[in-house]
Amino acid sequence: MAAAEAIARRTLRDSRTRTLSFALLFLFGAAAQGATYRSAYPTLEDRLRLARSFGSNEAVRLLYGVPHDLLTVGGWMSWRLGAIPIFAGLWGVLAAVRALRAEEESGRMELVLANPVARGTVFRAALAGIAAGALIVWLGLFVGILAGRASAGGSAYLALAIMSPVPVFVGVGALACQLAPTRRMATTIGSGALVAALVLRMVADTSSAGWLRWLTPLGWAEELRPFTGAQPLVLLLPAAASVLLLVASAWLARRRDIGDGLLSARESAPPRLHLLSSPTALALRTLTGGVIAWLIGIAATAVLMGVVSNSVASGLSESVQRQLEKLGAAATSASGYLGFAFLFFVLALSLFACFQLGAMREEEADQRLETLLALPVRRARWFAERLLLIAGLAGTLALAAGVFAWAGAVSQGVDLSFGRMVEAGANCLPLTVLFLGLGALALALAPRAGPAIAYAIVGVAFLWETIGGVANAPRWTLDLSPFHHVGLVPAEPFQATGALVMVAIGAVAALAATWAFDRRDLVAG
């Protein structure tokens, strides 16, 4: 029992940054949806107009699913949070692969099994740690929904519905760990299953083949119908699927060798020497898969925003316009809506920077960095070049957001300048550089808490900008949030002064971080 508890605790601890990040993201997102809906659509007339504008939009259904009731806060949140089950499923896949396959690749699993601990005990203990992390994420989501002033029972059920794909995709990830000989292949298999489930749900929600929704865990989450005719018996489907997947995974785990998989790995392969010329090139090679995933997600979201920009702008009520004006936006046109919407790309890229800082910390904690620095590689150079790489990748994602949003808007006949949309993408970078520098300084001074501090800075700044603006907070307090100094391009001019100040602060913080990192000890674990 003591060994199982220790393994479960270690599993939860290893995933603490990812778990807290998802929990806070879900909490802020849910709370913002409830507060915004109540203040922006206070009357039945406003809500009917919203339902007519959004309810029949096929492009919006791709991301959020089919709306069943847009006249109540509960019905709105049930639909508007419809994209979160996708990210919940991703959390499940990553948690399973990290707790099972990554432990084998690192060699730690062999050390554990060298003690009188059965493989089945290790498997169940790892699942217990994952379950504890899922409970933390559910709690964050529940608190966020409750903050939107939904009923406690309905909030708990909605949070449960949104999280229902998690055990299924934990099972998918666990099964992928038995099939694949490497962590990377296991992640690819699990992510591929998630993408297939998402495609099925999209087809079901945008065509007459609604029955396809019953073939995907993401569709089951939608069929649970929180606040809109609850069907709790649907919970039997994810419960049965997860049990079958986990039982099959446990059975296979007892019958294969440690470090091996049922899918045979190639015994030999031609050497792939690209991007091995320097530590920075190696980092780019290592990060390529994750960056491609970010690029796909940002591109898809940008296209969707461009496609709906004109219909959303024309469907906003006067109360919504007043609320947006408090945030500095005048979304009366497609360009005005996109200027406001790109604030969320600023947030996404800032979180991307935090995620990459977390990857730097992981290299240090797992002692891979110690091996690298045993070579003739200067600590300061590694740290500085890694920050420059992160800034360059963020710039690529930012420009992609502008280009794909322009393509989506033009496909609907919106007259929008390509150059201005590229500028809108570039407008995301100053704030990203600021948060990157501050997060790097936190990482250099407090390595274990650094990534969490970086996420907290971004989250608090964004939350204060949105809630403080709607609540008519004093202007000087709003000025404390860096988001308040971002020009809403393409609707507004680029704010060069604010951008230069943010870049300068970020650069100074990055230089200070590089100096501090060069003079402190590496911290493992």
CB contact at 8 A, 335 and 405: no
* 181 token code pair: 């000989």
Q: Total structural domains in the chain?
A: 2
Task: Give the tokens for residue 230.
Answer: 């609850």
Per-residue pLDDT of the chain (525 residues; tens, 9 = 90+): 577 788 888 888 888 878 887 888 788 888 878 777 777 677 787 777 777 766 666 656 766 778 888 788 888 888 888 888 988 998 999 899 888 887 777 677 777 777 777 777 888 888 999 999 999 999 999 998 888 778 889 899 999 999 999 999 999 999 998 888 877 788 888 888 888 888 888 888 877 778 888 999 999 999 999 888 889 999 999 999 999 999 999 998 888 877 677 776 555 557 666 766 788 888 888 888 778 878 888 888 888 788 877 766 555 555 555 555 544 445 456 777 787 778 888 888 998 898 889 888 888 887 888 888 888 888 899 999 999 999 999 999 999 999 999 998 888 888 888 988 999 999 999 999 999 999 999 999 999 888 888 888 887 887 777 666 555 556 666 677 888 778 778 877 888 888 999 999 999 999 999 999 999 988 876
Same domain, 298 and 219: no
Structure tokens at 160: 């449960």
Contact 106, 524 (CB under 8 A): no
**H or E segment to which residue 115 belongs:** none
The model carries a pTM of: 0.68
Do 393 and 447 share a domain, yes or no? yes
Which of 237, 260, 283 is the last residue before a domain boundary? 260
Which residues have a Cβ under 8 Å from the Cβ of 56 and sit 6 or more positions away?
Answer: none
Torsion of CA 164, 168, 174, 175, to 10 degrees: -170
Whole-angstrom distance, CA of residue 435 vs CA of residue 231: 43
Q: Can you give 3-43 as a three-state secondary structure string?
A: HHHHHHHHHHHHCHHHHHHHHHHHHHHHHHHHHHHHHHCCC
Residue where a domain terminates, one of 212, 227, 260: 260
309 & 230 share domain: no
Q: Which domain holds residue 233?
A: 1-260
- Shared domain for 226 and 280, answered yes or no, is no
Q: Characterise 415 by phi-psi region: left (phi > 0), alpha (psi -120 to 50), beta (else).
A: beta
Question: Is 121 in the same domain as 225?
Answer: yes
Whether residue 138 sits in one domain with residue 10:
yes
- The answer on 114 and 40 residing in a single domain is yes
pLDDT, position 160: 94
State the pLDDT at residue 435. 94
**Predicted pLDDT at 337:** 77
CB-CB contact of 338 with 404 (8 Å): no
393: left (phi over 0), alpha (psi -120 to 50) or beta: alpha
Peptide bond into 482 cis (omega under 30): no
Give ∠ CA 161-167-169 in degrees, rounded to 5: 105
CA–CA separation, 235 vs 364, rounded Å? 41
Is 113 contained in some domain? yes
Residues 100, 120 contacting (CB under 8 angstroms):
no
3-state class of 471 per DSSP?
Answer: coil
Q: Is the peptide bond before 490 cis (omega within 30 degrees of 0)?
A: yes
Residue 267 is assigned to a structural domain of this protein = no
3-state DSSP assignment of residue 248: helix
Q: Does some domain include residue 269?
A: no
Q: In whole angstroms, what is the distance from residue 137 CA to residue 115 CA? A: 32
Distance from CA of residue 405 to its chain's centroid? 20
Q: Of the candidates 260, 291, 326, which is a domain's last residue? A: 260
Other CB atoms within a 10 A radius of the CB of residue 334 amount to 25
**183 in the same domain as 298:** no
Smallest CA-to-CA distance from 508 within 445, 440, 446 is with: 440
How far is residue 294's CA from residue 373's CA, in Å, rounded to a whole number?
29
Backbone phi and psi for residue 398, each to the nearest 5 degrees, phi listed first: -65, -45
Query: Are 230 and 338 in the same domain?
Result: no
268 is a domain residue? no
- Within 8 A by CB and 6+ apart from 237, the residues are 214, 217, 220
Q: Do 249 and 261 touch, CB atoms closer than 8 A?
A: no
Closest CA to 218 of 172, 249, 174: 172
Residue 23 lies in a domain: yes
Structure confidence at residue 393 (pLDDT): 94
User: Could you write out the DSSP letters of every residue in 148-175?
Assistant: TT--HHHHHHHHHHHHTHHHHHHHHHHH
Give the amino acid at 366: D
Are residues 182 and 217 located together in one domain of the fold? Answer: yes
Give pLDDT, residue 173: 92
Q: State the burial class of residue 476 (Cβ atoms within 10 Å of its Cβ: 0-12, 13-18, 19+).
A: exposed
Inside any domain, residue 266: no
Q: How far apart are CA 123 and CA 99, in angstroms?
A: 9
408 neighbors 303 (Cβ within 8 angstroms): yes
Residue 257 DSSP SS3? coil
Cα Rg of the chain (Å, integer): 23
- 319 and 244 both lie in a single domain: no
Report yes or no on 359 lying in a domain: yes
Rounded (5°) CA angle 101-105-107 = 115
Among 8, 90, 13, 113, smallest CA distance to 362 is for 13
Considering the domain architecture, whether residues 255 and 281 belong to the same structural domain is answered as: no
pLDDT (0 to 100) of residue 284: 83
In a domain, 362, yes or no: yes
Query: Do residues 409 and 334 touch, judged by C-beta distance below 8 A?
Result: yes
